[in-house]
Amino acid sequence: MEIRTVGVVGAGQMGNGIAHVFAQAGFDVKMTDISAAALEASVERIGTNLDRQVARDRLTKADRDAAMSRITTTDQLSELGSCDLIIEAATENETIKHQIFADLAPHLGPDTILTSNTSSISITRLASKTDRPERFMGFHFMNPVPIMSLVELIRGIATDEATFDLLKGVVAKLGKTAASAEDFPAFIVNRILMPMINEAIYTLYEGVGSVESIDTSLKLGANHPMGPLELADFIGLDTCLAIMNVLHDGLADTKYRPCPLLTKYVEAGWLGRKTDRGFYDYRGDVPVPTR
């Protein structure tokens, strides 16, 4: 089987990045979302990001236009059923993901491969509710997708070798590097990254350091390109909390208990950059720490 057409479910930050890299690599992409405005904004964002690559001489204008021509949008999930590969990139909520795959089921071709861009949820559990667990995998891109070179490939207990090999080849066509992860809570990257972010929030919660001092310490003391609290805002505090809950519930270890301050920020709707407030306030010209 050869992958030619790719369906992307979700036009948010991850979905538009995934559509971008597939279209640029020569795949025909069909993107869907429950919000028409989100679809429109996503296509505009992809165009802007491709324009930036042209301006930096990393892409020709002809290649930019060709990539944009390969992207179509629809508000009908069923229209993705004919794609060779479908990548679910909806919010990090297991119930929503199960519903998406259930709604897709009647419209799928017999050979369509299903994948999820989930950053933490069990692939085995998601696959078990579909009619093709052997052709279901975790396909976890890093954010921002066009820049980050890693893709985590996660096999569920029923995923067959042919599906894994095929998707490993797709990752290579995208010019990215695949890392194989076992199906345990949060896989590799977030199993390591999220507890670090959670510990940084505890460090703030306990008054060990301020937002600014914690981020400065990790940037200059550990050579991290972004401080952990700045990174949490970039990822989305709701996503950070969801992943910590998956780790805490799935591994039953108190070291993964989400910091109460993280929960409080999410309850307040301060989710980071996407809501203009998190550990920093982004409503002015320069981000200002909120604690």
**Do 149 and 61 share a structural domain?**
yes
Q: Number of structural domains, the chain? A: 2
Q: Residue 190 catalytic?
A: yes
**Do 18 and 43 share a structural domain?**
yes
DSSP designation for 277:
B
**Do 211 and 163 share a structural domain?**
no
**Do 108 and 212 share a structural domain?**
no
pTM: 0.90
Among 163, 181, 199, where does a domain finish?
Answer: 181
Q: Residue 152 catalytic?
A: yes
Catalytic residue among 88, 190, 198, 230: 190
Average pLDDT over every residue of 53-69: 96
**Do 143 and 91 share a structural domain?**
yes
**Do 212 and 157 share a structural domain?**
no
Q: 80 near 12, Cβ under 8 Å? A: no
Q: Residue 120 catalytic?
A: no
Q: Residue 212 catalytic?
A: no
Distance CA 81, CA 83 (A): 6
Distance CA 291, CA 285 (A): 18
Catalytic residue among 20, 152, 198, 230: 152
By residue range, what is the domain housing residue 139?
5-181
> What's the pLDDT at 1?
82
**Is residue 265 one of the residues assigned to a domain?**
yes
Distance CA 282, CA 261 (A): 19
**Do 114 and 16 share a structural domain?**
yes
**Do 245 and 166 share a structural domain?**
no
User: Tens of pLDDT along 15-54?
Assistant: 999 999 999 999 999 999 999 999 999 999 999 999 999 9
Q: 44: domain CATH number?
A: 3.40.50.720
**Is residue 131 one of the residues assigned to a domain?**
yes
Give me the percent of the chain exceeding a pLDDT of 70. 100
**Do 251 and 166 share a structural domain?**
no
**Is residue 288 one of the residues assigned to a domain?**
no
> What's the pLDDT at 127?
98
Give the C-alpha distances (Å, rounded to integers) separating 93 from 51, 133, 238. Answer: 33, 19, 10
Counting Cβ atoms within 10 Å, is residue 19 exposed (0-12), middle (13-18) or buried (19+)? buried
User: Of the candidates 144, 161, 186, 199, which has an alpha carbon nearest to the alpha carbon of residue 19?
Assistant: 144
Contacts of 62 (CB under 8 A, 6+ apart): none
Catalytic residue among 16, 20, 120, 140: 140
User: Tens of pLDDT along 187-201?
Assistant: 999 999 999 999 999
> Bridge partners of 73?
31
Catalytic residue among 119, 120, 122, 198: 119
Average pLDDT over every residue of 222-229: 97
**Do 278 and 194 share a structural domain?**
yes
**Is residue 260 one of the residues assigned to a domain?**
yes
- Residue ranges in 56-135 assigned as alpha helix (H): 61-69, 94-104, 123-128
**Do 43 and 120 share a structural domain?**
yes
Return phi, psi of residue 49, to 5°: -70, -35
**Is residue 16 one of the residues assigned to a domain?**
yes
Distance CA 91, CA 10 (A): 8
pLDDT at 237 over 90: yes
Among 119, 146, 181, where does a domain finish?
Answer: 181
Q: 232: domain CATH number?
A: 1.10.1040.10
Among 127, 155, 181, where does a domain finish?
Answer: 181
User: Tens of pLDDT along 148-207?
Assistant: 999 999 999 999 999 999 999 999 999 999 999 999 999 999 999 999 999 999 999 999
**Is residue 290 one of the residues assigned to a domain?**
no
**Is residue 216 one of the residues assigned to a domain?**
yes
Greatest CA span in the chain, whole angstroms?
56
> What's the pLDDT at 267?
98
**Do 164 and 105 share a structural domain?**
yes
